[in-house]
Each structure stands twice: as C-alpha cells, then as structure tokens.
Amino acid sequence: MFQRPRGTRDFAPDEMARRRLALEKMRETALRFGFREIQMPTFEELELFTKKSGPGIVDELYAFKDKGGRDIALRPEMTAQVMRFYVSDLSSLPKPLKLFYFGPCFRYENPQSGRFREFYQFGAEIAGAETPETDAEVIALASAIVAAVGLKGFVVRVGYIGILRSMLKDLKFSDADIAMALHFLDKNDVEGFTKFASQKSISKETVDRIFSIRNLKGGIEILDKLDDGKAKDYLRETMNFLSILGVKGYSVDLGIIRGLDYYTGMVFEMDAPSLGAEKQICGGGSYDLVPLFGGEQVFTTGFALGFDRVLIAAENEGVEKSIDELDIYVIPVGEGSLEKALGIVETLRGSGLRVDYDLMKRSLSKNLKYASLVNAKRVVIAGEKELAKGAVTLRDMKSGDQREIKIESLVNEVKK
C-alpha cells in the first residue's frame, strides 16, 4: 500500500466542499474590493527566490535541476512571482494595479500542527501610490476575507517598520547592520541586540529608546508616545481609514518586524487565538521588491494569507461546515424505466441542476438510503406506471413528503 508523502494531505469530498466554498467566498470578496485574479506557475527558476530571500532559503525548498540542467524550485510563496510577473508583463497597466491569487506552495520543513510541506496561500498586492488609504485597503481586504469564511475571533496588529529603520539609519548603520539589528529586534532578543549595539558603540540610553519603541502596543493613543513625523502621521491616518472601512479589532504593535529586509513602511499581522501558540494566519505590509527584479521603483503593498490555517481556525471556532448537495437523485424502478429516466437526468442537468442517478441497480429502499448519504435534497422515482402517464414521483428527502408530478413540469417545480 502506498502512503502519501510526509507533510501532504488528501482531501475527501466533504472536505473539498468546505475548501471550495471558502475559496469562493475569498475570491468574491477580493473581486468586490476591485482586485483582479492572476495565476503563476508552480515552479520557477531557483534564483527568483534566492534573490528575494537569500541563498539560505535553499535548504527550505524543493529545489532540483531539470532535464536541461537548469536550477528550478517549487515555489515556497508567491510574492516573488507576482513581482517577476509585474516587471515582465504588467508594469504598463493602469495604476493602481490591484491583484489577487491563490495556489499551492511548498516548503521542506518539519510538518506539525497547521504546518505542511504542501500548503495553500491566498494573497493580494497593490502597485500604485504610497498613501495611507492604499495600505488600509489591503488590511481591510484581508480582514473581510477572513470574516467571509466565518472566522470571528481574529485580531489585526498594525505596525510601521520604517520607524525602527529610520532610527537605525540615523545611527549610521550600514544596510547589513540594519538587517542584523532588525533580526534581533524581530526576535525581541534584548541581550543579542545590546551586545551588537555595544560593538557599534551605541549607548545604553539609545538601546533602551529603541526597545521602548519596539515594545509599544495598544490602541491608537500609544502613537502619542512617538516623536512627531511622517511615520506617526502616516500610521495615524492608516488607522483612521481602517475604522472608516469597517475593520474591527485592530491595534498598534510596533514590534512587528517581519524579519525580512524588503519591508519598508507599514506592516501588519493577523492572529487567530483558537490556533494556540502558532496563531498567525496572515502577514503583510508595504515592501520594495520591484527594483530587485529589474523594474522601475513603484510603491507596493500586500499580504499573504495561510488558507489552511484559516480553515483550521474556523473549524476550531465551530464554524458550520458546508457540504456538497445534490439537487436531484433519480431512481429508475422497473426494467423498462432506465432509458426514460436517463432522459429526465439529461433534462434536469441541462437546466443547471446537480443530478445523479442509480448506477448500481439497487432496490428502491437502498437507493433512498444512498440518496440520503450523498446529501440529495430530492429524489425522483421513475416507475414504469408513472412514466406511462408522463409523470414521476418527486420526494423531499428532508420532510419525506412525496407527490406525483408531470415530467414537463419537473424542472420548474424543483427550481421553485
């Protein structure tokens, strides 16, 4: 017996119904916000991902050489692909360019609860003007998407990494030093950062000031503790627009670093407490990747949402699962009824209804039991006597009520 590869999953019909409905709701929400869908290949040149995240990421990838000797990797995320696509084909489109996407991603990591080697990501990006309302728009979309799936207990934390970047730049840190310092701050490693700062002859007072900013969390009122400037005004405006756009349950968290060099301004994360310690379901912010891939400077902001983790969180909250339902299950009764029953099946399917019929030649009682198991709303019993009169028996599987109805009226009656 073959086993599926470690870190992957099979999805049975009921689970697929749930996933499909969740994805449909996410897509509908993104379209309602004026975003348009794109799709990229599952694999890319390995350099696309090392260019964005550094050579150290190779150990986390499914990377290989193809038959032409080219270095290829299954995508570990999709933002780099969007930027590659933007530079090569989309940059001339009118701005703002609002895009969303969905698909499987792959990481070679240790599988655990909520973490898989094959997982699914839903994301969105805006390329356009650097304005608070642009950043607020992506946060509002992420919140609306999660809410559309039925998740209620989620929180949004918004920060501004540009504040700490500016402080470090004022200390005459090089880009490499800034990256190292942000790494310590991202991990809240006080000892590591203090030792690093000491090597750079940075005073303890300055270190304390940096950590006091890094640890600011709470409502919009904590922005009063920041020095006046662009970052403070930008973040305050962003928060104001979030309220206007109906985003609830958000807070300021200047400790969000995200640990990636290309984030430049606003950053945000979304948590679902029902997931426990591994509670993050979404992350994003404004970033600077287009020039890295050879394009002209443009403001970009977006997010990536863990599709699987959102569904697990919704299940933990008790969100009702969707199921695939059949509109009609047709049961031929009697040797001479099959051909006419199949004609009825074709007519019903042609009208847009979901229809199945007996392929196993079961008895009527066993067919009714099967119809219940496959979530059929109604059953059409096509018996020889009824068919001879141009009629069938229509049975409601929920109430058990049934009545004889003319075949020519069947479609209208079912839809009614």
Residues in Cβ contact with 362 at an 8 Å cutoff, skipping those fewer than 6 apart: 370
Strands 376-383 and 402-406, by their bridges, are unpaired
Whether the predicted pLDDT of 238 surpasses 90 = yes
**The CATH number of domain 13-316 is 3.30.70.260:** no
Q: Would you state the pLDDT for residue 269?
A: 95
Least confident of 103-112, 131-140, 159-168, 351-360: 159-168
Q: Would you state the pLDDT for residue 27?
A: 98
Q: Which helix (H) or strand (E) holds 287?
A: strand 280-287
- pTM score, whole prediction: 0.89
Strand partners, 302: 125, 285
Kindly state the average pLDDT of the residues 85-96. Answer: 95
| Residue 162's pLDDT band (cuts 50, 70, 90) | confident
HSE toward the beta carbon, residue 46, CA cutoff 13 A: 18
| Residue 147's pLDDT band (cuts 50, 70, 90) | very high
Q: Which of 240, 283, 5 is nearest to 138 (CA)?
A: 283
Contacts 24+ apart (CB under 8 A), 344-352: 344/380, 344/382, 344/392, 344/407, 344/410, 347/410, 347/411, 348/380, 348/410, 348/411, 348/414, 351/411, 351/415
Q: Would you state the pLDDT for residue 332?
A: 97
- Which has more confidence, 103 or 288? 103
Q: What is the largest CA-CA distance in the chain?
A: 97
Whether the predicted pLDDT of 210 surpasses 70 = yes
Omega prior to 96 cis, within 30 of 0: yes
Query: How many Å from the N-terminal Cα to the C-terminal Cα in the chain?
Result: 48
Least confident of 43-57, 170-184, 301-315, 328-342: 170-184
3-class secondary-structure state, position 19: helix
Q: How far apart are CA 338 and CA 370, in angstroms?
A: 18
Q: Tokens in use for 82?
A: 């969007």
Q: How far apart are CA 280 and CA 155, in angstroms?
A: 10
pLDDT tens per residue across span 273-316: 999 888 999 999 999 899 989 999 999 999 999 999 999 999 99
Q: Would you state the pLDDT for residue 115?
A: 82
| Residue 259's pLDDT band (cuts 50, 70, 90) | low
CB 158 within 8 A of CB 139: yes
Q: Would you state the pLDDT for residue 381?
A: 97
Domains 13-316 and 326-415 share a fold: no
Whether the predicted pLDDT of 261 surpasses 70 = no
CA torsion 272→278→282→286, rounded to 10°? 130
- Mean pLDDT across the chain, nearest whole number? 92
Q: Which helix (H) or strand (E) holds 65?
A: strand 63-65
How far is Cα of residue 414 from the mean position of the Cα atoms in its chain? 36
**The CATH number of domain 326-415 is 3.40.50.800:** yes
| Residue 153's pLDDT band (cuts 50, 70, 90) | confident
Residues in Cβ contact with 167 at an 8 Å cutoff, skipping those fewer than 6 apart: 209, 210, 213
Q: Would you state the pLDDT for residue 321?
A: 79
Whether the predicted pLDDT of 405 surpasses 80 = yes
Q: Which of 416, 359, 405 is nearest to 380 (CA)?
A: 405
Strands (E), 107-154: 118-128
Query: Angle 267-269-270 (CA atoms, 0-180°, nearest 5)?
Result: 150
Domain range annotation of the chain? 13-316, 326-415
